[in-house]
A = this chain, B = another copy of it.
Amino acid sequence: MSVTIRDVAHKANVSVSTVSRALSAPNLVRQQTRDRVIAAADELGYRPNTAARSLITGKTGILGIVVTDLGNPFYTGILKGVQARARQDAYSVLFADGEEDPATEESLVRTMAKQVDGLVVCAPTMSDQQLRDLAELTPMVLVNRHVPEIPAVLMDSAGGMRQVVDHLAALGHERIAYLGGPRGAWSDQERRAGLLAAAERQHIGVAEFGPFPPRFDGGIQGADLALAAEVTAIVAYNDLMAFGTLSRLRSRGVRVPTDVSVVGFDDLVFSATSAPPLTTVAMPTEAAGRAAVHLLLARLAESGAGAPATAQRLDTYLIVRFTTSPPGAPVSVSAHH
């Protein structure tokens, strides 16, 4: 059927062990035989059987990634980065979608654990304890989730929020609203904390709202609340919500950014082309994917569980577009009719 190492050995007039070594530990065989083997191998189109190999080595050459919800464009960047970096080291990547359900996530991880050399798990909805248990099963690195014992790469949302607040402060805003996302999410906690801390430092007042569903409609709901709170700027948990806010503001006759500034978070593809283009914070998703794999590979290489669980932080960047400006008159909806 398929061409095996034995065929190559026969063709090159050597034993199978020699073939094996010629291909994976080049300096253990004489140059001359090695060339002969290699010639035979690719003349026959030999590709080692990965199942046989991993049976004995215990390594599969496969990495796994599980995300909470692929529907969210945010994750596709990570996925891209993971795959690109993995490919660099000739790893394949198994993919699974947790569908925002902790139970599904856990079962997915358990299944995968058997088939992969390591796993990257994105912003899981599971508990810390579940995560710790799972981490026993296979080398694992987290993305945008922090559990002390597990290595992770985190995107510095707090830092992003600091930039947002500094930007707003520089513009002269003195009272802003924060439209929060799901309380459970690590991201929301980070963003909220970052915003609050920076606001205090800058002596800016914050009206907090939420939690809202982190989607378009959440932003609509939040917009009304924020308007009533007489703020000059609205910071949304993410771009999706910011779009909802923008939409609601327009339909209520509030001009952006003249009457009120709006800022999002994530820098989705559409953020550059919304009307008006949205000021937001760019997350280095692809870089995070790469970094996660890099970290994972490093751990695999040293293979000692001895290394401490490092958490790597990636910088985020504020992208100023056209939804922020110095505040005009205090927001008063009735004034615009």
Chain A positions within 8 Å of B, measured between CB atoms, are 47, 49-52, 54-55, 60, 62, 70-71, 73, 76-77, 79-80, 83-84, 87, 92-97, 111-112, 114-115, 216, 243-244, 247, 250, 269-270, 272-273, 275
Contacts and interface: CB of A to CB of B under 8 A. Distances in A.
The 10 closest A-B CB pairs, nearest first, are A95-B95, A51-B54, A51-B55, A216-B273, A51-B51, A70-B76, A70-B80, A92-B94, A52-B55, A47-B114
B60 A70 contact: no
Please state the number of chain copies in the assembly: 2
A79 B47 CA distance: 27
Most buried by B among A50, A243, A269, A273: A273
B97 A95 contact: no
A93 B96 contact: yes
Contacts of A50: 114-115
Given A51-B51, A93-B95, 20 more contacts: A50-B114, A50-B115, A51-B52, A52-B55, A62-B94, A62-B115, A70-B80, A70-B83, A71-B76, A71-B80, A73-B76, A76-B76, A83-B97, A84-B97, A92-B94, A92-B111, A92-B115, A94-B94, A95-B95, A243-B273
Nearest to A219: B273
A51 B58 CA distance: 9
Contacts of A92: 94, 96, 111-112, 115
Contacts of A60: 51
Nearest to A90: B111
20 contacts: A49-B55, A70-B76, A70-B83, A71-B77, A79-B95, A79-B97, A80-B97, A83-B95, A83-B96, A92-B94, A92-B111, A92-B112, A93-B94, A93-B95, A94-B95, A95-B95, A216-B272, A243-B270, A244-B273, A250-B275
Contacts of A73: 73, 76
A114 B79 contact: no
A329 to B, nearest CB: 24
A243 B62 CA distance: 39
A252 to B, nearest CB: 13
Contact of A275 (B52, B83, B96, B275): B275
Contacts of A49: 55, 114
A45 to B, nearest CB: 10
A95 B97 CA distance: 12
A200 B216 CA distance: 40
Contacts of A115: 50, 62, 92
Nearest to A56: B51
Contacts of A272: 216
A104 B49 CA distance: 22
Contacts of A94: 62, 92-95
A73 B111 CA distance: 27
Contacts of A269: 71
A111 B89 CA distance: 13
A269 B73 CA distance: 10
A49 B273 CA distance: 50
A322 to B, nearest CB: 13
